Amino acid sequence: MPALNLTPTTRSGLSLVRDMPDGTLNLLLVELERSPDSIPSLPGLSPGDAELVKESLDAMYAVRAYHDVELEEFVGDISDAFKFNKELPPEKEPDFRQRLLRILDIAPLRVTAKAILLHGEYERDFCTARILTDIRPIYDNGVKGPPSGAIIMHTLKLTYHEGASGELSEMYLAMGSDDIVELQRVLMRAIDKVTGLRGVLEAGKIRYIDPQR
């Protein structure tokens, strides 16, 4: 068995890299350098194939960043996986390796992969949030008559991924009306911080990377 197990989708994307003309490959390298967060638009490469190539490359950059493997070794592992699946004739292997060495050594994509890895290095990672709101009646003289009053309560439901396995967990927090306002204030302040910090990065000509986009 090869050291690297490639999914069918990743193999398909890398097969396109293996077989595309040299001119298309050179244009692809330029586009990835210029717009690392976008799906490249190239003559001779359909939008679907371009998306498949980008998805495969993103996956490979993520795997390499996670395992911190030297590029030569990583390229060898990919080649071995293709040979194991009988998808790399011996005469095509040298050219395929050279293509991988070029396309898997693009600085903006390396930085993006490391940013995504850093973003995930937390014990708990937010998934979704929902606020449930209900009326709680208050009875002063028994429950057979109408309520004497009522309160409005909110329950904040947070779901998150936990641990290295990414297991989904959830928690519930009771909130009152003032708590809702405070939560809104904190979130708006966080948005303002992002805006300010992005300005600092732009002034320093440092690329801003959002791992969720």
- Each residue's pLDDT, cut to its tens digit, for the chain (213 residues) gives 677 899 999 999 999 999 999 999 999 999 999 999 899 998 889 999 999 999 999 999 999 999 999 999 999 999 999 999 999 999 999 999 999 999 999 999 999 999 988 887 788 889 999 999 999 999 988 888 889 999 999 999 999 998 767 799 999 999 999 999 999 999 999 999 999 999 999 999 998 888 877
Closest C-alpha among 109, 64, 104, 68 to residue 207: 109
Give the angle subtended at the CA of 115 by the CAs of 113 and 119, to the nearest 5°. 120
Greatest CA span in the chain, whole angstroms? 90
Do the beta carbons of residue 156 and residue 173 sit within 8 Å? yes
Phi/psi at 89 (nearest 5 deg)? -60, 150
| Phi-psi map region of 146: left, alpha, beta (phi>0 left; psi -120 to 50 alpha) | beta
